[in-house]
Amino acid sequence: MKLLAAVAVLLGPLALATAVPQLEHRVSYDGYRVYRIATHHNAASVKAQLKGFATVPFNLDTDEHLDVAIPPGQISAFESLGLETEVMHEDLGADIAEEGSFAAYRGVEAQAVPSLTWFDSYHSYNDHVQYFNDLQAAFPQNSEIFTIGNSYQGRSIFGIHIWGSGGKGSKPAVYFHGTVHAREWITAKVVEYITYNLLTQYDNDTTVRAVRDSYDFYILPVVNPDGFVYTQTNDRLWRKNRQPRSGSSCVGTDNNRNWPYMWNVSGGASTNPCAETYKGQAAGDTPENQALVAFSQKLRNQGNGIRLYIDWHSYGQYILLPYGYNCQARAANHARQTTLASAVAARIAQPYGTRFTYGPSCSTLYATTGSSVDYMTDVANATYAWTIELRPTGSGGGGFVLPPAQILPSAVEQWEGMKYLLATM
């Protein structure tokens, strides 16, 4: 509100009058309580009991539990069902308000490194763009900003390319995607902290120097920019892109069910445009996915291939290995991947004791078709392709709305895991 008032002073009442309606369209979660409901492997019976409730789903089906937000007027009716629950957010609206007080990012003096205060709060899409430009400008000899295309609404899908002593494009690729799902805000921050350390620690840390000299890094913090902006203007819980579809009033396709590989297998995505996991009308038919596919093909074909791909998500604290489309399928190097994931989980736990579960995506969490990891493994020929689901677990509080105080710890523990993985793989 402070910013809005300042803008109004600068631009006069007309500007305020145009800004306010947008805020009035913001979905309010004030007073919503979020529960994790134990299903004891019978989600169908829990769902039947929830039929009369205006629930907002937080997770997709897992065998173990359903995470749902309940509107304030239905909380007492919900509690009288007597289900086995834990509270994830006492008042979701209050937690969103706390998370939503962004510190202003003012940029830096020419070629200075932005300070770590960046990790004290969340930020807007434009600030993320500026932050990457500033980081890159401080290390112009070993990095560049690139754009792989535009989103449905025309926002840039950008990233940073970082290299070491071998020169630009001379080594196998390490390739990261953040913010595939719009509401998973912590993911951009975590890949930014990894980026920050890869750039700033090269002269200070022999491990960082060695991994920088061994790989070319391609890091894209916000690959679903329209959805991300929408979470900040309209609905904090938005997940998909913002592409409309003919024949439906519902908007948005799940970019992580749209990859053109195993897209047509049944059971891991929805054909309903209103669903959170809507797969699209055809494989690879979102502008964001088309840009990502073209860029993945480019990395695959450029000579050194893709050594590591990670799709960063939240929440649940998982390291998920191939595959999503079939719970029996395993990558050819599955044993090696499992050994690495186990050791990475141990490194992640070192700073704060945070526990990450690891295993094949389908059998560990749920089936997903048209997902990035399956595409990267079998089509883009990545040696290792993982999904990491960041903090929190959901048990004991929180979900997509992770308090700002947990940004830096989340990033620090992932950096420990990544340093180990990059040096070992």
Ligand X SMILES: *[C@@H]1O[C@H](CO)[C@@H](O)[C@H](O)[C@H]1NC(C)=O
Q: Which class for 199: exposed (0-12), middle (13-18), buried (19 or more C-beta within 10 A)? A: buried
Q: Indicate the residue among 16 and 408 with the shorter CB distance to ligand X.
A: 408
Q: Shortest distance, CB of residue 197 to ligand X, whole angstroms?
A: 8
Q: Which of 381, 395, 408, 409 binds ligand X (CB under 6 A)?
A: 381
Site for ligand X in 170-209 (CB under 6 A): 200, 204
Which helix (H) or strand (E) segment holds residue 409: the answer is helix 407-424
Residue 313 interacts with, from Zn ion, ligand X, none (CB under 5-8 Å by kind): Zn ion
- Residues β-bridged to residue 217: 162, 174
Site for ligand X in 36-55 (CB under 6 A): none
Q: What is the DSSP letter of 251?
A: B
Q: What is the DSSP letter of 361?
A: H
Residue 270 interacts with, from ligand X, Zn ion, none (CB under 5-8 Å by kind): none
Question: Applying CB under 6 A, does 383 fall inside the site for ligand X?
Answer: yes
Angle at 249 between CA 246 and CA 255, to 5 degrees: 70
Question: Applying CB under 6 A, does 305 fall inside the site for ligand X?
Answer: yes
Q: Indicate the residue among 162 and 390 with the shorter CB distance to Zn ion.
A: 390
Residue 284 interacts with, from Zn ion, ligand X, none (CB under 5-8 Å by kind): none
Q: Shortest distance, CB of residue 205 to ligand X, whole angstroms?
A: 8
The pattern of x and - marking residues 55 through 94 that bind ligand X according to CB under 6 A reads: ----------------------------------------
CB within 8 A of 32, min separation 6: which ones? 56, 69, 70, 71, 72, 89, 91, 92, 93
Question: Applying CB under 6 A, does 115 fall inside the site for ligand X?
Answer: no
Q: How far apart are CA 214 and CA 30, in angstroms?
A: 49
Reply yes or no on whether 79 is catalytic: no
Alpha carbons within 13 angstroms on the beta-carbon side of residue 162 total 31
Q: What is the DSSP letter of 34?
A: E
Q: Point out which residues bind Zn ion (CB under 5 A).
A: 181, 313
Q: How far apart are CA 417 and CA 335, in angstroms?
A: 18
Q: Shortest distance, CB of residue 147 to ligand X, whole angstroms?
A: 26
Residue 76 interacts with, from Zn ion, ligand X, none (CB under 5-8 Å by kind): none
Q: How far apart are CA 163 and CA 167, in angstroms?
A: 6
Site for ligand X in 244-303 (CB under 6 A): 264, 266
**Residues 99, 184, 276, 389: which is the catalytic one?**
389
Q: Indicate the residue among 108 and 346 with the shorter CB distance to ligand X.
A: 108
- CA distances to 129, 277, 406 from 391, rounded to whole Å, are 24, 21, 9
Q: Point out the residues that are catalytic.
A: 389
The residues that touch ligand X, with contacts defined as CB under 6 A, are 200, 204, 264, 266, 305, 381, 383
